[in-house]
Amino acid sequence: MAPNSVVVTIEKPDSSALKVNGLDSSVFLEKQKAVSTKQFTWVLLLKVNRIFACLSWLPMAFRAMFVSLRKRIALSDMSDEEPKSRGRLYKFIKAFLGLSIVALVIEVIAHFKNWNLNLIQPWEVQGLVQWSYMTWSAFRVDYIAPVAIILSKFCIVLFLIQSLDRLVLCLGCFWIKYKKIKPTVAADAYDIEDPSTFPMVLLQIPMCNEREVYEQAIESACQMDWPRDRLLIQVLDDSDDRNLQLLIKDEVSKWNQKGVNIIYRHRLIRTGYKAGNLKSAMGCDYVKDYEFVAIFDADFQPNPDFLKLTIPHFKGNPELGLVQARWSFVNKDENLLTRLQNINLCFHFEVEQQVNGVFLNFFGFNGTAGVWRIKALEESGGWLERTTVEDMDIAVRAHLNGWKFIFLNDVRVLCELPESYETYKKQQHRWHSGPMQLFRLCLPAILTSKISMWKKSNLIFLFFLLRKLILPFYSFTLFCIILPLTMFLPEAELPLWVICYIPIFMSFLNILPSPRSFPFLVPYLLFENTMSVTKFNAMVSGLFQLGSSYEWVVTKKTGRSSESDLLALAERESLSSNEEKILRRNSESGLELLSKLKEQEVAPIPKKKKKNGIYRKELALAFLLLTASARSFLSAHGVHFYFLLFQGLSFLAVGLDLIGEQMG
């Protein structure tokens, strides 16, 4: 056998063991290294091939994204956004964006040419761009940076105060759960077998052009488990659609003939929005016979036992003016926007309302799903039309008159969340401009009221200033203006705990009441910062009484029902046809109503096709933050870069109306 020959023997057919004889081990290792080198080369080539494939895919992806953006802009409706986008805030953001782009171009040139301000003497300056860079650097150090540092420190202090307030509220909520503190009622509040012991209750359903939800609202109210002779339902219709008025009248008449004590009211002069509607209804002569009034917006579907769970709390508690129930949402999982709203509102009810109700006996009335003692309403001045937050207005005035409130976290009423960003934005504008209107009007009354100094301080500093004014101010100023500005001002850079650690911790606390929403922690944080521009704009308009602060837009409803409602509806429809539901009326016969409905089915009212919007303030802020992220990338800031990048993309998604309901 040759000395350098190789003999390979296989002991077992399925064994991987090899026996090597007669070979110098160094030769074998060299061959193995050669094979490994070839394999490594092939792996590198494969990686390079994949990289080039990705690079070739990127232009196609960017082209597809650009085409989709052009299509979205071309098909979007900017009519609603156009007048607002011409305001001062939008002009300020555009000017800031233009300066940021110019500064970024200069900074990029300086970065690649390795310009160093400390090493360049004035006589060594070459060209206009280098002179501009040196002038900008000297100007920002001497004039801009000191102002930015002072403003950022001021906003950070406000941020810490508001975070401390939220932490205290969470600790209060933990204490309530630990001690199992709940409002209680007397066991013998009312004699179930004797309906005459039940108090007289007025149930009001204010609505305006609520075509999608009027039927389910009336049905839920008419199924209330309360003695019929002790309950009166008022359907307060402010609709300006004559056909819709007839449909609502027909629904009311149907339940009236079933023995339900229900009436239909329509104002000829519809002023004052919801407050004017409620004020008009409370002016009826028969209201004096009732002790309590329950209020439900048109999209709310209370359970039949709602009154039996709320009214007993008034028994033996003459100082109690309001019992507020919690909202529950039938469409909370519809899209990303509704999921994020659910996080906010769960925290609002579980923490803010519950803690304030337990420890202060005061909170802002939510405008619906609550029961008022009519005496408390009358002594507090009744419904006023002076602001767009009539619910908060009456709550503050009742608190100043010494009335106490109770919040029932266990009593929940189904309702809807806005599914489109346009609807949600208009709702938030009203919710954040109204409190500032009210603060201006109520401040003298708060200062001269007879309540304790602690309650006055709570109303002024916590309820109004901290939670209604400071929160939107620092959210917008700190994270949308100062943070991108500091990317061009290294002297005023914000610390990581301001932009990362504390915001994430506070977002974590916000999500605790809705634990199923933990996967949306980061989107929630980004979305809250995105909404800060709308809330800041609304706060300023309300504080300075600008025209947009008096805008009232009815929140659009879709008429979604719960599973039990859908099953009940299917059962009812299987028992009777649409024609059999039309009953004979005094004013017009059933045949006339039937013919009218058939005419409407044949010739439906043409509806304007819905389109997604384009929101220019959000888009301008998106490009501003992305510009700042590019500057942060040059400086290798790390967390600052990623925060600005994702926050900019969040603004871009909202500006293109990609977050909520997508129209065809």
How is residue 383 written in tokens?
């419904």
What is the Cα–Cα distance from 434 to 464, expressed in whole angstroms? Answer: 11
Report d(CA 15, CA 31) in Å as an integer: 23
Q: How many CA atoms lie within 13 Å of 27's alpha carbon, on the beta-carbon side?
A: 8
Phi–psi pair at 301, nearest 5 degrees: -125, 85
Q: Token pair of 492, please?
A: 């005023």
> What Cα–Cα distance (Å) separates residue 436 from each residue in 443, 492, 537?
11, 32, 12
3-state SS class at 384: coil
Which is the catalytic residue, given 237, 297, 391, 657? 391
Residue 586 has which token pair? 């005094």
Give the span between the Cα atoms of 121 and 113, in whole angstroms.
16
Do 124 and 428 contact (CB within 8 A), yes or no?
no
Q: Please state whether 636 falls in left (phi above 0), alpha (psi between -120 and 50) or beta.
A: left
Given the residues 237, 238, 297, 657, the one annotated as active site = 238
Please state, in angstroms and rounded to a whole number, the distance separating the CA atoms of residues 139 and 162. 34
CA distance 527 to 512: 17
- Rounded to 10 deg, the angle between the 88-112 and 616-634 helix axes is 20
The neighbouring-strand residues paired with 294 are 203, 371
Active site residue 14: no
391 is catalytic: yes
What are the φ and ψ backbone dihedral angles of 202, each rounded to 5 degrees? -105, 125
What is the C-alpha to C-alpha distance for residues 361 and 405, in angstroms, rounded to an integer? 5
Q: Where are the alpha helices (DSSP H) in 223-350?
A: 242-257, 273-282, 306-310, 336-347
End-to-end CA gap in the chain: 83
Burial of 261 (0-12, 13-18, 19+ CB in 10 A): middle
Yes or no: say if 320 and 314 are a contact pair by the CB < 8 Å rule.
Answer: yes
Which residue from 360, 371, 353 is spatially nearest to 310, judged by alpha carbons?
371
**Whole-Å CA distances, 256 to 185, 234, 251, 430, 611:** 33, 12, 9, 36, 40
Catalytic residues: 238, 391
